[in-house]
Amino acid sequence: MIHDKLKYNFEIIPGELTAFEKKLLKLEQIRYIENPKRFYRESAYLKRVDGKISYYYLFSQIKSNNFNRGSDYLTHGLDFYRGSFHAQMVRGLINYCNLKDTSIILDPFCGSGTTLVEATLLGFDSIGIDINPIACLNSIIKTKLLKYNDAISRRTLEYDLTYFNNEDFANQKYKVILKKDFEYLLGLFIYTRILSMEKRLNMKKETAYKIFLDKLNFILKKYNFLKKKIEFNEGESKILFNDNLTQIKNYPNSSIDAIITSPPYLNLIDYIEEDITKIKYLFNKREIQQLKTQSIGNRILNNQNSHIDYWNKMIKLITELYRVLKKNKFLVFIIGNYGNMRSKYLSHFESSGFNIERILKRKIVNLKKKDNVEYVFFLKK
């Protein structure tokens, strides 16, 4: 399992690696044959390299909840979002792409921003696009918080609970809101999160506010302390609230170094309903309906045209992804084992010009959904 050309010792993170992780670790190591000094900074699966503790291991220790979910470290665990990536896997996938320091990573369905957070932690600049406003808000907060040096208190928050807990707020337009400054968005993120906690956990707003602020500050304090001790540069991320096809058209040919993404699966999840408490706070009924119909693959019952619409848009998107990607670079595309979706995607990748370099099968460890698998396509331009 250890790559022959790697002459140094390393220790794998505690717990057994899955077959998929073992395979990805081996592939990841290809990146470090020429540059072994950086292995401890970037690997997703190692605890130590030549005695040095890895950055991933240090990051993974900074978590504020009791769940023992490996993905919830740093800002990853700050939101609930259905269908989000396993953070550690994304780290491994980015390493597989073998990027230079100045590279730009794109995720056209960025969702809650797992790819963007890992890109930031690995020092790469990233672009995330999503048509779901809550997903965009999550992504903005989770990436920008990594650069926030202060503790968050009621005094430092320019916009407090009372500002957002106000009926006048509902009259504002969301597109305008997303362009406001970070302080404002952080206040909005915290407030809408509290609305969910109030509903889901039956908490009082004041209690939820205190708990969540404590959680945020716990993470920030530990992370900022760690940053003073270790040497690394965070990347910059840009999050665009828009239809990805419209947005990608603005990017020139061969301008992106890696694309790592997973599309919504046709008609399986209603992403708007998943966040309905937050959505209802920000939008009226007509706007909510509009969000649902605009989102590609979003579950809408009894929609006969959804198949045609989905594939039409997806074919155009794959063509655009090919255009903006640099030659010999990777599109890493992750889909579940759902109907004939896999074979359809494969044929569209091939007809768009991509070379299918590798397909990895990953079992999703979940008690409810045993034997559920997803496929990771490595597609080379």
Q: Which residues bind DNA (CB under 7 A)?
A: 82-83, 262-265, 267-269, 273, 301-302, 335-338, 340, 342-343, 361, 364, 368-372
Task: Give start and end residues of each alpha helix (H) in the chain.
Answer: 19-28, 39-42, 55-60, 87-96, 114-121, 133-144, 161-164, 174-177, 182-200, 205-229, 244-248, 271-274, 276-282, 285-294, 306-324, 341-352
- Choose between 24 and 62: whose C-beta lies nearer to DNA: 24
Integer CA distances (angstroms), 5 to 41, 217, 352, in order = 19, 43, 36
Nearest approach in angstroms of CB 296 to DNA is: 12
- Choose between 299 and 381: whose C-beta lies nearer to DNA: 299
Q: Which residues contact 312 (CB under 8 A, 6 or more apart)?
A: none
- Choose between 10 and 345: whose C-beta lies nearer to DNA: 345
Integer CA distances (angstroms), 378 to 81, 123, 257, 285, in order = 25, 22, 14, 40
Nearest approach in angstroms of CB 21 to DNA is: 18
- Choose between 75 and 298: whose C-beta lies nearer to DNA: 298
Integer CA distances (angstroms), 200 to 179, 195, 211, 278, 280, in order = 29, 9, 14, 12, 15
Nearest approach in angstroms of CB 231 to DNA is: 35
- Choose between 25 and 341: whose C-beta lies nearer to DNA: 341
Residues 346, 358: Cα–Cα separation, whole Å: 12
- Choose between 5 and 361: whose C-beta lies nearer to DNA: 361
- Choose between 177 and 300: whose C-beta lies nearer to DNA: 300
Q: Which residues of 235-244 are buried (b: 16+ CB within 10 A; e: fewer)?
A: bbbebbbebb
Q: Checking DSSP bridges between strand 256-261 and strand 46-49, what pairing results, if any?
A: unpaired
Residues 341, 337: Cα–Cα separation, whole Å: 8
Question: Which helix H or strand E contains 330, and what residues bound it?
Answer: strand 325-336
- Choose between 176 and 367: whose C-beta lies nearer to DNA: 367
Positive or negative torsion for Cα 183, 289, 336, 318 = negative
Integer CA distances (angstroms), 67 to 70, 131, 145, in order = 9, 30, 21
- Choose between 232 and 338: whose C-beta lies nearer to DNA: 338
Nearest approach in angstroms of CB 265 to DNA is: 4
Nearest approach in angstroms of CB 117 to DNA is: 17
Nearest approach in angstroms of CB 26 to DNA is: 18
Nearest approach in angstroms of CB 53 to DNA is: 33
- Choose between 98 and 261: whose C-beta lies nearer to DNA: 261
Residues 83, 197: Cα–Cα separation, whole Å: 20
Nearest approach in angstroms of CB 278 to DNA is: 16
Q: How far apart are the first and last CA of the chain?
A: 28
Burial class (CB in 10 A: 0-12, 13-18, 19+), 119: buried
The one-character DSSP state at 14 is S
Tokens 């590279």 sit on residue: 103
Phi then psi for 376, rounded to 5 degrees?
Answer: -110, 115
Nearest approach in angstroms of CB 217 to DNA is: 31
Nearest approach in angstroms of CB 169 to DNA is: 25
